[in-house]
Structure 1
Amino acid sequence: MAQTVAGAGRAAIGDSEFDRDTAITPRPGEPGAFDAELSAGWTIISAVNGGYLLATAARALGAVLPHPDPFTITAHYLTPSTPGPAELRTEVVRTGRTMSTGQVSLRQDGTERLRATATYGDLTALPDDVRTSARPFAIPPYAACVGTDDAPEGHRPIPGSTAIADRLDIRLDPATAGWAVGAPSGRGEMRAWFGLADGRDHDPLSVLLAVDALPPTAFDLGLTGWVPTVELTVHLRARPVPGPLRVGITTRNLAGGFLEEDAEVWDSSDRLVAQSRQLARVLVA
């Protein structure tokens, strides 16, 4: 089911806008502390996207832990982050032969915005033994899905007129894009092909972005407005092979102004590379 994502150029990992904007700089004389510059290019309305924040925090943890890849990471979003300088402080909790655990705090102007705990290992060292009942969800071919320029005149663009949309190559399954023309399905589903606009291949950090980059499932329930993440947990199961990702997100329960979103991320070899769950608030416009 491999697909080719359209695009003129192809940025290498490490030389992409995503890599530059998640870069961290060690603080002299402060082991485990880093500075970052959160880019306005990854905002939704005026807040920085949660997946982008998680990738930045994970990069800081990867700089202090002896293992290269996050296996599981859980972040609590304490207050909205804004573009500009940020400070990340890490703590190594435990190191072992095959896994290590740490935590990281992201602050701006003295206010803690995010705190995350993660266990790292080496995804390439895992045995190639897959026994699963999970199957890739059905989605039309890339060319048959809809992007930011496909909304009819007078309707909002897909996935939305936000800065982050210009940095992503998202093609929504038309069956989950009806909200953009005033016809949400009511099922609480989003499915899409996902890539970075500059063609960069995926790695664990871009997968952390992918689980929180699609339009919220609240839109498919007929609701509009900001849906900020309260808590997000991601399990990474394998390194993705080159090619686009398929991201599917569902919600089963919206109650008391909160909903959960369960995501699956499949690579172009039909491998399930990540699963996530988040709790989010629904702020109706």
Structure 2
Amino acid sequence: MSEAASAPAVRATVGDSEFDRDTAVTRRSPGVYDLDLSAGWTIINAVNGGYLLAVVGRALADALPHSDPFTISAHYLTASRPGPATVRTETVRTGRTLSTGQASLLQYDEDGKEVERIRVLASYGDLDALPDDVRTSAKPPPLPPLDQCLGPADGPAPVEGSSAIADRLLLKLDPATVGWALGQPSGNGEIRGWFGLADGRDADPLSLLLAVDALPPTAFELGLKGWVPTVELTVHVRCRPAPGPLRVFLTTRNLAGGFLEEDAEVWDSADRLVAQSRQLARVRLG
């Protein structure tokens, strides 16, 4: 399948797409936002951590005087579930080029008690105001053309309802990093692939928060199975991405004590490093 063939006939636009609708927040009062977490961004029953970060990131973009996330760190305290939720934000500091805020995403449990799901600290600015000077030794990851990579349709049929998020993504993985899907993990702890939204919406700073956490976990290529819940995730957004699919490169170097770190690089169609992240995640051993 070619890149053109995999693109939707009618492309959604930023502000008018499924991602925008499902991350929408409604301001109830200053700093307080109501929302509904969509079941469309789940894996089994777990709401994807990158989607959750984008939801909170959208609330902070409204609450703070600057609209673009520069750095955002989230601690995942309890498992979120689809349905109503609230984001409470607080402005910590505002400056000329950066503003810093914190936010909590909350839901109610079966007993009607409010439970904090995520706590976030973030600094926002204006990506368009950054200087063009780039001095880097980073290079885009080696990745075959999109039509030579593998997507969900190329593997075994998934269990019904097991990965709703896959229907909302254009995700094509480097064949060299999908040995785990064939029962032959490489042990290298690397996953590489093309990333986009299935409706053709181009990437923006908020969708980069999803991109860093949307590929299969590197734990799979280490021969581990099962859910890999995020404990903490920090994302650095470096510049506004150019139109077109993104390339995402995940690596892990150290699994110890049932936890691993996972580093992500996100590259745009102009060969720019547009986002970086590191997360700490738990793994099931044995």
User: What TM-score comes out, normalization by structure 2 length?
Assistant: 0.94
Q: Is 1:130–2:131 an aligned residue pair?
A: no
**Aligned residue in 2 for 1:226:** 227
Distance 1:41 1:130 in 2: 38
**Aligned residue in 1 for 2:111:** none
What is the Cα-based RMSD across aligned positions, in Å? 1.5
Aligned-residue identity in percent: 73
Is 1:145–1:174's contact at 8 Å kept on the other side of the alignment?
Answer: yes
Question: Where in structure 2 are the equivalents of 1:1-285 lying within 5 Å?
Answer: 6-27=7-28, 30-109=29-108, 110-151=114-155, 155=156, 161-284=162-285
Distance 1:278 1:9 in 2: 35
Is 1:223–1:284's contact at 8 Å kept on the other side of the alignment?
Answer: yes
**One-letter amino acid of the counterpart of residue 84, structure 1:** G
**One-letter amino acid of the counterpart of residue 130, structure 1:** V
**One-letter amino acid of the counterpart of residue 142, structure 1:** L
User: What TM-score comes out, normalization by structure 1 length?
Assistant: 0.94
Aligned length: 277
Unaligned residue ranges in structure 2 (runs of 5+): 109-113
**Superimposed CA distance per residue, residues 82-133 of structure 1 (whole angstroms, 9 cap, x where no aligned partner):** 0000010000000001110000000000000000000000001100000000
Q: Residue 53 of structure 1 aligns to a residue in which SS?
A: helix
Is 1:168–1:195's contact at 8 Å kept on the other side of the alignment?
Answer: yes
Distance 2:250 2:216 in 1: 10
Distance 2:235 2:168 in 1: 22
**Superimposed CA distance per residue, residues 166-205 of structure 1 (whole angstroms, 9 cap, x where no aligned partner):** 1001000000011111111110000000000000000011
Query: Post-superposition, which runs of at least 4 consecutive aligned residues in structure 1 deviate over 2 A?
Result: 3-9
Q: Residue 107 of structure 1 aligns to a residue in which SS?
A: strand
Is 1:78–1:112's contact at 8 Å kept on the other side of the alignment?
Answer: yes
Is 1:225–1:284's contact at 8 Å kept on the other side of the alignment?
Answer: no
Unaligned residue ranges in structure 1 (runs of 5+): none
Deviation, structure 1 residue 9 = 2.4
Q: Residue 195 of structure 2 aligns to a residue in which SS?
A: strand
